[in-house]
């Protein structure tokens, strides 16, 4: 029983450290989760339900961490883009506003002088 508990903890630690290092024939971690869920009756018969649950939890935790990193990068990127666009719009508005206050028209089209 002690050896089984040790195997469970090392399995969970290995899955958390290297999320895509699954060496089974199931393929990606999602495939491994589906494989474990499909064989729950066999796991129950062998008394290894805890092993399957721990492995699914470890894979889910690693996938969650990967998804959160991707979401964080996307949000940071969008925040930087939004900030830069706001600053550039503000600078253009200042230039145009000060030009209008000075009575200048920067347009070269003759119809815009009546603006």
| 3-state per-residue secondary structure call for 43-85 | HHHHCCHHHHHHHHHHHHHHHHHHHHHHHHHHHHHHHHHHHHH
Q: How far apart are CA 96 and CA 79, in angstroms?
A: 26
Q: What are the C-alpha distances in Å from 108 to residues 23, 91, 100, 102, 105?
A: 68, 21, 15, 17, 8
Say yes or no to pLDDT of 91 above 50: yes
- Which pTM does this prediction carry? 0.51
Q: What is the pLDDT of residue 27?
A: 64
Cα end-to-end span (Å), the chain? 86
pLDDT in tens, 32-80: 888 988 988 898 888 888 988 899 899 999 999 999 999 999 999 999 9
Q: What is the pLDDT of residue 62?
A: 92
Say yes or no to pLDDT of 24 above 60: no
Mean pLDDT in the chain?
77
The packing angle between helices 29-38 and 49-102, to 10°, is 140
Residue (of 110, 3, 106) closest to 51 by Cα position: 3
Q: How far apart are CA 99 and CA 95, in angstroms?
A: 6
Is the CB of residue 51 less than 8 Å from the CB of residue 4? yes
């Amino acid at each position: 029983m002690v050896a089984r508990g040790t195997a469970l903890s090392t399995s969970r630690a290995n899955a958390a450290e290297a999320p895509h290092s699954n060496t089974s024939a199931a393929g990606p971690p999602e495939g491994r989760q589906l494989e474990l869920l499909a064989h729950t009756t066999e796991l129950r018969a062998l008394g290894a339900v805890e092993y399957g649950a721990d492995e699914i939890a470890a894979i889910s935790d690693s996938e969650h961490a990967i998804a959160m990193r991707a979401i964080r990068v996307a949000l940071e990127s969008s925040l930087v883009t939004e900030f830069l666009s706001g600053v550039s719009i503000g600078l253009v508005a200042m230039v145009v506003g000060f030009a209008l206050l000075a009575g200048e028209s920067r347009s070269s089209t003759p119809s815009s002088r009546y603006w």
